[in-house]
Amino acid sequence: MVSLLSAMALFAFVGAVSPGPVNVMATYAGAQFGWRKASIHVLGASVAYVLVVFICGVALGEMSQGIPLLVPVMRWVGSLYLLYLAVRILLTKDLGLNSNPQMAMKALFVQGSLIQLLNPKAWIFASSGVSLYVLNQVNTHSALGWFCSLSLVICFIGVGVWAVLGQSVAQWLNSPRRQRWFQLILAAMLCVSMVIIWM
């Protein structure tokens, strides 16, 4: 059991900390709002990922028949949403680093959740994890429960690292020119993550 949980934890950590659209937006939230407020965004992404894992665990057999249709739809919807986010980052005139943005906690939570739910990487990664660590266990319900629990904690830590990175970078972003470069880099990273989805 310990080896299974360790494998689950390592798998979840690699997925959570590797670069992707959710982490790019967590970095942006960290730079814009600071860690405390960005953690609500991170929590939304983490809860949404657990929902993805749970759905994959419960319905993987049925989904496998629908995946030929599901994957292209998720790719298009996810790609369009990432493109929208990239444009939104580019068009933001002021990151609001020196002010106290009044973005509601609920809006940050929903934003983090939506990015994760529309992230094809999350669905593919969760499906792989369920196939590897849940479906081949004697008690699949218990294994899925452990996998969901570990995914919640580790996703919060992994994505949270990016939000902390964003907060750290915020101190360097003390000029409009640096803020613009930061926006361009984040928008480019989102576009690259969109291209990777199609490879």
pLDDT tens by residue, 77-93: 666 766 777 787 778 76
Q: What's the mean per-residue pLDDT of the chain? A: 79
**Boundaries of domain holding 148:** 1-197
pLDDT at residue 73 above 70? no
Instruction: Write down the pTM of the prediction.
Output: 0.73
CA dihedral for 151, 154, 159, 160, sign (positive or negative): positive
What is the distance, to the nearest Å, from the Cα of residue 33 to the centroid of all Cα atoms in its chain? 17
- pLDDT for 95: 55
Q: Of 9-13, 49-53, 120-124, 188-192, where does the model show the most confidence? A: 49-53
Q: Do 133 and 12 touch, CB atoms closer than 8 A?
A: no
Residue 9 near residue 167 (C-beta atoms within 8 A): no
Q: Is 32 or 74 the better-scoring residue by pLDDT?
A: 32
Q: Read off the pLDDT band of 182 (50, 70, 90).
A: confident
Number of domains in the chain: 1
Percent of the chain whose predicted confidence (pLDDT) is above 90: 20
- The CA distance from 194 to 120, in Å, is 10
Q: Which two tokens stand for residue 12?
A: 């979840």
At 196 the pLDDT is 60
